[in-house]
Structure 1
Amino acid sequence: MAGDPVTGHAPADRARARAAGAERRARLGELLVAARQGDSAALDAIVAELTPVLWHTARNQGLSSQAAEDVVQTTWLTLLRRLDTIAAPGALIEWLVTTARREAWRVSAASRKDDLPGDDVFDDLPDGVLTPDELLVNDERRRALWQAVESLPKRCAELLRIIAFVPRPHYDAVAAALDMPLGSIGPTRGRCFAKLRLVLAKDPDWSPR
């Protein structure tokens, strides 16, 4: 079936993504209600699931990794202060993404030592980054990817985790971290990626786009 000429996704893929997004919103809304009632485990589950989404939201604004981590922490603190003020629990993701973006804009403006505009200005700014729905789809893909990585043999999973989080890993550092011969890292990396591609190819819900 031909994909959408803009997104590259087939209609069935988009339908599955919408259904998964709706189910996830409902589940997170239930967790928010439970957190309001004092269920700390529910709040922990929200934080664990949506921290990657918020981190990528902050990074999409051009912040460094450290600044993005600060934005995420501030976003969670804001949620704690306003836990009872979110009118629609099912809109928790949008609320958090908007809060993270505004905090990222504030941090970015402060780093340039410019005057910070008021919040009403942000409402009119053109948004050229990913929407909450797109962030959710990307996050689902990342979750599927890491599940596939974790299904690989331990050495492959360890190697791919290091390569993923270090832009240009030095093989001597990788060799020391994993206690591997320096000359074996390149070939092992290639074999691990090949295994990962096979695992993902068998996943009916996996799409590279």
Structure 2
Amino acid sequence: MDELVREMTPVLWHIARSYSVSASVAEDVVQSTWLALVRKHDMIEDPAAVAGWLITTVRREAWRAAGRARRSVSEDDLERRLPPAASVEEEIVVREEEQHLWRAVHTLDDRCRRLLRVVAFSVRPDYENLAVELDMPVGSIGPTRRRCLTKLKKLLQESPIDCDPASTRSQ
């Protein structure tokens, strides 16, 4: 039996690890396989089939262990996988700031609103199409955008953020 353990343990270990389980889980799988052999040794009719039986048993155990590992994600793993969550207070502040920004944008003239929306939501706006859509020369888009942003900044600085909870519920 010692010789069998010495020869087969590295093979069983390799098979268990091939199921992408951790080293500690692979150790448990190999140990469970040896325990199963001890418990069921009387069921084995052909001693030449022991190696095949061990290999089949370790595969089944490793497959089960890998499935359990995938299903049971620890809290630490879950926290690492989830994006950091903002507190309710932080979410409310962000929402208030966004509403404040869009209220200010709505007070701008139509050309500024349209230009800032395109620039805000496009990584690389196509200035030629934008010039046609806004009926303005391509060369004036940059300066116009700068003037619109300056107006928006001034509006945001002049009007404080409304933090009254009643005003956010009605919107």
- The normalised TM-score by structure 2 is 0.46
Name the structure where helix makes up a greater proportion of residues: 2
* Higher alpha-carbon Rg: 2
